[in-house]
């Protein structure tokens, strides 16, 4: 019985910690689902922060490719700080770095494609 209680306690604690870690998206980032993007489009700049090689293999139509390490060199191409920016990469890590960087530079209308390119490719396959 004691083993079951310890297991249950450990499981609850693990779920609590996982939820706290998984939900660490800052309030200044608005998630956008692939279905929303596919059906409604996006009124702003769609920014792909992957490498040019990854971009050449596949990308969202009308996306602008600026690899995240070069972001500060291309601020003029993004528009003013009130321009809505939908940012994605392959899995989310580079997009998050870019969004944090852009927020620090004064951009406030930041959107993240939920699931990034992996989700877009799964959504757009017939």
User: CB 96: neighbour CB atoms within 10 A?
Assistant: 20
Whole-number CA gyration radius for the chain: 18
Set 60, 86, 87, 89: catalytic member: 89
Quick one: tokens of 99?
Answer: 């969004």
What single DSSP character describes residue 65? E
Q: Does residue 50 contact residue 94 with C-beta atoms inside 8 Å?
A: yes
89 is catalytic: yes
Burial of 37 (0-12, 13-18, 19+ CB in 10 A): buried
| Rounded to 5°, angle at Cα 86 from 44 and 57 | 110
- Active site (catalytic) residues: 89
């Amino acid at each position: 019985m004691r083993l079951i209680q310890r297991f249950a306690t450990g499981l609850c604690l693990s779920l609590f910690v996982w939820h706290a870690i998984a939900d660490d998206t800052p309030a200044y980032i608005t998630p956008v689902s692939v279905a929303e993007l596919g059906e409604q489009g996006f009124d702003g700049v769609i920014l792909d922060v992957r490498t040019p090689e990854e971009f050449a293999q596949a990308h969202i139509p009308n996306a602008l490719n600026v690899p995240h390490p070069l972001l500060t060199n291309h601020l003029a191409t993004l528009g003013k700080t009130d321009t809505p920016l939908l940012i994605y990469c392959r899995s989310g890590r580079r997009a998050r770095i870019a969004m944090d960087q852009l927020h620090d530079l004064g951009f406030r209308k930041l959107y993240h494609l939920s699931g990034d390119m992996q989700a877009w490719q799964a959504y757009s396959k017939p």
